[in-house]
Every structure is written in structure tokens, then in C-alpha cells.
Amino acid sequence: MRAFLFPGQGSQAVGMGDALAGASRAARDVLEEVDEALGQNLSRLMREGPEDELKLTENAQPAIMANSMAVFAALTKEGSVDLAKAANFVAGHSLGEYSALCAAGAFDLSTTAKLLKLRGQAMQQAVPVGQGAMAALLGADLELARRIADAAAQGEVCTVANDNDPSQVVISGHKGAIDRAIEIAKEMGAKRAIALPVSAPFHCPLMQPAADAMQDALSYVVVGDLAVPVFANVTAQAENDPDTIRNLLVEQVTGMVRWRESVLNMGETGVVEFVELGGKVLGPMVKRILPDAKVTSVVSIEDIEALAKEIA
């Protein structure tokens, strides 16, 4: 069994998708459609930068999705790969869940781009710059990360945002609490604690205003039938009911990304091969969770051709 995976924020880089767009008409079409949907030359920002502007949450989120979907379009339209035959499940990390849902047919490309633009703006506006922060705890599992977060909170928000793999957990909350967590993490048993260069504290209760904005936006959107189920961040389970998926996308804004559990559960379901489309971030996490799994990262036209040949 095989799962297609889609990366989340932090995987953006100036130049992303440029070589692929030059080699694939289907990839170019995706970038042009996203530009048109947003009324913004996002593809130029992806191609040329500046990096500071690309890194802004409201740009990074649709850009990462556009890059993943450009790879997916080249694979399915030019490589003649049928998602329903090639994969048993899709999954994405945080915003990558929207890419996964777009690939599976829950949303069309224009709708996905608009939802992610709004999601990025709402997350950015939920907490004034400088009041929130995030940190990666390395050499810490979920239980240790929770103990560190609880000890550092002291009346402020400090909670686990991403349970990425057995050795990397990300915490999120008020800046003061995250600073305290970084100070005490090593003495409590973590190898290292690193402040992350993010503009807002994602996946924690401080994001409630953004969750409210997404609930409103998603209430107007039709969620289509999925070609294959999605392993949802919030439940770490396979989901394919449209109303459930809509509700989970709202919960996801403030909820923990249960990535480690999702990968473990996919493995238990019988998935032995994981293909990351548009990045090289999730593959190493998967290998730390399921060392025996086959992991492939697909970014370039050469990667796409090799995968299409293998699946055919």
C-alpha cells in the first residue's frame, strides 16, 4: 500500500517550482491558475523572491500548496498516474492537509488557494507580532514535551503544536512561556530546544480567531467526494466524510498536528511506501517513525518521470 504526502510550512524556498514549470505544461497551468485565483503574481514571488515576502504566512501557505499541486499535476496529467490506483491514502502536514484534499478532489485548485490565503492572513492577524512564539524540542518525545510545556506555562499558553516524530516535537504559545520552555528543556531531558523563525504561534489556543475565520469561510465551500481517504492531522485517522473533514480543518487551526501517530496508523493499516510531493521534509520524519518504510521525495521532472514509470 502507498500514501501520497504533502509538506507544510517551512518547506518554502525562493526558486521553488521554477525548473518544473519550465519542463511541464501541467505544472505551469497550476501556477497560472493559482495566480489568477488570488489576483497575485505568486508564481513570480516563488521564482524570484524576495525571501522575506515569500516567508510571510499568507504567501508561504498558498505557495507551498501550489508547488505540491504542480508536481501532482505533472505526475497525473503528463505521467498518466491515477491517484485512486496509485495511492491508498493522502495526508499532509498542517497546511499540507489542504494540498492532500485538493489532490483527492475535496476542493478545486482555486478554492484551495483562496482558503490558504485566508488561513495565512487569519493566523497572522490572530496574535500581534512578538507576542507568540514556537520552538522545536529535539530529542524529546510527546510525553516529555508536554511536561516541559506544562512547567513553562505559568498561567500563559504553552502547548504541543506538532508531534512530528519520536525525536522532534514543536511547542507553541505566548513568547514568555516559550522562552521559559527553551531555558528548562535541556535540564528536563531534551537534547536541544530551538526557537523557530515563525511569525505566529500556530496550532495552539491563541489561534482561535483564525479558527473562527476558517469556520466561516469553510461554511460556504462544498467539500467534494474524495478519490482516496485523507489521514487527518487532528484525529490521525482515515477520514472521507465531507462534513467531518470541514469540521476537522477548523479544529486543526488550534489543534495539535498528530503527524507521528498518523504515519504509525498508516503503517498499521498496511502502508509500506510513502511518496512526498513537492518537498523533502516529511520523508526523514517518516523514516524516524517507520524505519523500514520506503520513502520517496518527488520534486523535479526527473523524480516525476521515475515515479510514473515505477507506478505504471
Q: Taking CA 113 as the corner, what is the angle to CA 111 and CA 115, rounded to the nearest 5 degrees?
A: 65
3-state secondary structure 181-201: HHHHHCCCCCCEEEECCCCCC
- Active-site hit among 11, 68, 94, 297: 94
Catalytic residue status for 93: no
- Active-site hit among 99, 203, 262, 297: 203
Examine residue 166 and say whether the peptide bond preceding it is cis (omega within 30 degrees of 0): no
Q: Across the beta sheet with 158-165, what order do the strands follow?
A: 158-165, 168-174, 132-138, 192-195
Partners of 160 in the beta sheet? 171
Q: Measure the CA–CA gap between 290 and 108, rounded to whole angstroms.
A: 32
Reference 129, options 185, 186, 57; nearest CA is 57
**How crowded is residue 245: how many other Cβ atoms within 10 Å of its Cβ?**
22
Reference 135, options 147, 124, 149; nearest CA is 149
Decide: 231 and 266 in contact? Cβ < 8 Å: yes
Decide: 210 and 218 in contact? Cβ < 8 Å: no
Q: Measure the CA–CA gap between 254 and 206, rounded to whole angstroms.
A: 7
Partners of 138 in the beta sheet? 168, 192
Q: Torsions phi, psi of 90, nearest 5?
A: -125, 155
Catalytic residue status for 94: yes
Q: Coil, strand or helix: which one is 170?
A: strand
Q: Catalogue the active-site residues.
A: 94, 203
